[in-house]
Chain A
Amino acid sequence: MSTEAVDATAAAHGATATVKMPQLDISTFDNQIFWLLVALVAIYMIVTRVAVPRIGAVLAERRGTITNDLAAAEELKLKAVEAETAYNKALATARAEAAKIVAAAKADIEADLAKASAKADAQIEAKTVVSEQRIADIRAGAMESVSEVANDTAKELVAVLGGKADAKAITAAVTARMKG
């Protein structure tokens, strides 16, 4: 009975078709299937010829770009770390250099100082020697003057006392006195 109804629908398509389910109208199946296959082939062409290669390429490219950028960032970071290390190293070197220069300067100054003080010492020494010499001279001069004065004084004393003074004896006596 149902097949009859469908057949009737198929035969008189249009006016009475509204009663039945259009989905079961077999007369339209070949038409639908034909156009479905056409549409599917068209979509398949779009997908395989355009969509998949294009989007696949874009996605791959994007992934590549991101990877590259990350790598570049990593590299830059490494470079920065390297630069910091180099800077620190340079700083340390400079510090060591400065310490060396300071030490050298100190040593120089010390050496100069030692030389200068040695020179000064030597001069002082020399001056001391000269001064001592002069003092000794003066002392010797003074001693001589003292003995002369004593001789003269003794001679005068002897003369005043009325004696005839033997110059030689007086000198010997004064000398002995002075020694004693």
Chain B
Amino acid sequence: MAEGDATGFVIKPMDQFIVKPLFGGDHIAWYTVTNVTLWMAIAVVTIAALFMLGTRRRAIVPSRSQSVAELIYGFVHNMVEEVTGHEGVKYFPYVLTLFLFILFSNLLGLLPGSFTTTSHVAVTVVLAMMVFVGVTVLGFVKHGIGFLGMFWVTSAPLIIRPILAVIEIISYFVRPVSHSIRLAGNLMAGHAVIKVIAGFATLVVASPIVIGAVTAIYALEVLVACVQAYVFTILTCVYLRDAVGDGHH
């Protein structure tokens, strides 16, 4: 891949994000089986293995895989219940779906040589827009036109309320942007940094430091993968609270 560069010291941190057709050919149609397909399928299979095989025995005293599944279930369930209240528990399966997809994509993306589906803006924007559109529609269905009262901050003095309303509306529409870019940006940045640092390993002098640095950053990235899945999910819950919550905080 070292095209043209005579120095031989070429770091291409973004190469790992290229979408390639799995079975040859250059053209990517919407149905083409690509590495995106492969890694999403692996994520789905992993989730299926954990939640279908792991909970197969429905034991009162759980096996190891079953307790992992129960742990994830309980974690997300508590989060939804705490943040959105009892009204929000209805939407628990959607939130769990998002959480599982993001968590497993993030973690699988950390395997060497893998492809990180959640580092692509196209993917995260769709995830964030699903939440955004869903929450907005749900808010109008539940509260009718009263949902717009969310932007009218009654606790503030009357004079600055219009200004606050403008700010609130802007921040409302920025939500899906920050929601999606945060996830994609974090993962992209982490993977690119690992790649850049690993690229320096071609210098023999630097390689011991590089090995240590890559190990440390890899550990940080495992943490980031989990935290970003958590953050995405909890923000989903926070947005959901605006729509289904009884009062406007």
What is A's interface to B at a CB cutoff of 8 Å?
Answer: 13-14, 17-18, 20-25, 27-40, 42-44, 46-48, 50-52, 54-55, 57-59, 61-62, 65
Given contacts A22-B18, A58-B60, A58-B62, contact A35 B101 (CB under 8 A): no
* Top 9 A-B pairs, shortest CB-CB distance: A39-B40, A30-B30, A51-B51, A22-B17, A28-B19, A29-B122, A32-B122, A22-B18, A55-B73
The answer to whether A13 touches B26 (Cβ under 8 A) is yes
Complex Cα–Cα for A27 and B51 (A): 34
Given contacts A23-B188, A55-B69, contact A44 B43 (CB under 8 A): no
The answer to whether B96 touches A47 (Cβ under 8 A) is yes
The answer to whether A27 touches B28 (Cβ under 8 A) is yes
What is B's interface to A at a CB cutoff of 8 Å?
Answer: 1, 12, 14-15, 17-19, 26-32, 34, 36-37, 40-41, 43-44, 47-48, 51-52, 55, 58-60, 62, 66, 69-70, 73-74, 92-94, 96-97, 100-101, 117, 119-123, 126-127, 184, 188
Residues of B within 8 A of A30 (CB): 29-30
27 interchain pairs, CB-CB under 8 A: A14-B26, A23-B119, A23-B188, A27-B28, A28-B28, A30-B29, A30-B30, A31-B34, A32-B19, A32-B117, A34-B30, A35-B40, A36-B122, A40-B101, A42-B48, A43-B47, A46-B47, A51-B73, A52-B92, A52-B93, A55-B55, A55-B73, A57-B58, A58-B58, A58-B70, A59-B70, A61-B60
Number of A-B contacts (CB under 8 A): 135
Residues of B within 8 A of A38 (CB): 40
Residues of B within 8 A of A14 (CB): 26
Nearest to B20 among chain A residues (CB) is: A14
Nearest to B94 among chain A residues (CB) is: A44
The answer to whether A43 touches B44 (Cβ under 8 A) is yes
Residues of B within 8 A of A42 (CB): 44, 48
Residues of B within 8 A of A28 (CB): 19, 28, 34, 36, 122
Nearest to A49 among chain B residues (CB) is: B52
